[in-house]
Structure 1
Amino acid sequence: MSHAVGLDCALVLSGHVTLEEAEPVLRWLVDHPAGRVDWRACTGCHTAVLQVLMAVRPPMSGPVANAFLARWFDIDMSVAASVDCPQ
């Protein structure tokens, strides 16, 4: 899998995030509305994953590792100042 939960309540996307990961990413974002996405190690992702990110618009840690995504995916890259992530 190309996504994991980091120690700071962030969903970490790394490598190429596949179509099969879109639903688990969405599920995590719905279950953790104050969570953020760290995609600094993401080298690419399926358009379904991009659609999830565009729909939910979570706080992002970036910039993304992929130049194409950095150039074309216009999303608020700010990190939430306070993250409330129950275990």
Structure 2
Amino acid sequence: MSCIENYHSHTPHPPVVPPPEPAPKVKPVVKEKVVQEPYQPDAMVNPIIHEMNETIKILQLKVSKLEELLTLKDGKIRELSRKLQRE
């Protein structure tokens, strides 16, 4: 037996150690969620509705004024047509 073989035969072998088990998976830490106000469409829609109602009122006034002007114009046309027929 050679010296090396003699050395290995008398040297205790280290015990066979199984590989370490993988670390248990840790759930990621979830940051605390910020509590948001519930969605309130009325908060956004009400100003729009108010603005549209104002626009409608203005347009109704304009239509009313144009109807008045149209009535005046029609009256003028009738009056001038009568004058032409007399001549």
Taking structure 2 as the reference length, what is the TM-score of the superposition?
0.19
Q: Which one has a larger percent helix, Structure 1 or Structure 2?
A: 2
